[in-house]
Amino acid sequence: MNLTPFLESLEHSGVATGIRNSLYIFPLLEATHVIALGLVFGTIMIVDLRLLGIAGTQRSYTRISSDVLKWTWAAFGLAVLTGSLMFTTNARVYVDNTFFRLKFALMALAGLNMLVFQLTLARSGDRWGGEKAAPMRARVAATLSLLLWLGVIFMGRSVGFTTTGAQAKENAPPAGIDFDSFLGSSSAPAESGAPAASPAAPH
């Protein structure tokens, strides 16, 4: 399936053009995206550390998860929104980026890990949630969660560093630009061998 026409349509959309033409929108989106991902990881880490018996052991797992995970979903929604808007500005470059693909693969694995945990062990959390450390399978799930989300953050920052060069190459100026053009001169260079024009005489 050829995605190029769809990706090009995203790049030429009014939203993407507006973001590219603005001096402030893209940096604001990027900063918000990073903060949102930090909140996602931070809130998930609180729950995972509780499962591992490292922090928050004075409160039950069910109490912590009910208090914290609602903020996880809110931050995740914000990250999806800002990430999608940034994606439209240069969709073809992002799709072709290895780190971008790895980021989404790790996010899928993290989501699968959470889904399996929620459908199995989390349902019996009322029974073991008050213990200092969760059952072994829950601790394994928590460890995987931390490692996968750390990988997501690493890949996400790598995307930013590796796509900047690709965008610069796509928007590179023509090779024939000379020093006069760089200075903003609008006059064409004199033809080879032709005498330079003399300054105009005063009126």
> Residue 56: its pLDDT value, please?
85
Separation CA 37–CA 89 (nearest Å): 20
Distance CA 88, CA 10 (A): 5
Q: Is the pLDDT confidence value at 192 over 60?
A: no
Q: Is residue 37 a contact partner of residue 156, using CB atoms and an 8 Å limit? A: yes
Please, are residues 38 and 52 in contact by the beta-carbon 8 Å criterion?
no
Between residues 4 and 164, which one has the greater pLDDT?
4
Question: In 3-42, which positions are buried (b, 16+ CB within 10 angstroms) versus exposed (e)?
Answer: eeeebeebbeeeebeebeeeeebeeebeebbbebbebbbe
Q: What is the dihedral of CA 16, 22, 24, 29, to 10 degrees?
A: 0
For residues 40 and 78, what is the distance between their CA atoms, to the nearest angstrom?
A: 10
Asked which of 32-46, 85-99, 120-134, 177-191 is least confident by mean pLDDT, the reply is 177-191
> Model confidence over 109-154: pLDDT tens digits?
999 999 999 999 888 888 888 888 789 999 999 999 999 999 999 9
Q: Is the pLDDT of residue 60 over 80?
A: yes
Using a pLDDT cut of 90, give the percent of the chain over it: 57
* pLDDT for residue 130: 84
pLDDT tens-digit profile of 10-55?
A: 999 999 999 999 999 999 999 999 999 999 999 999 999 999 999 8
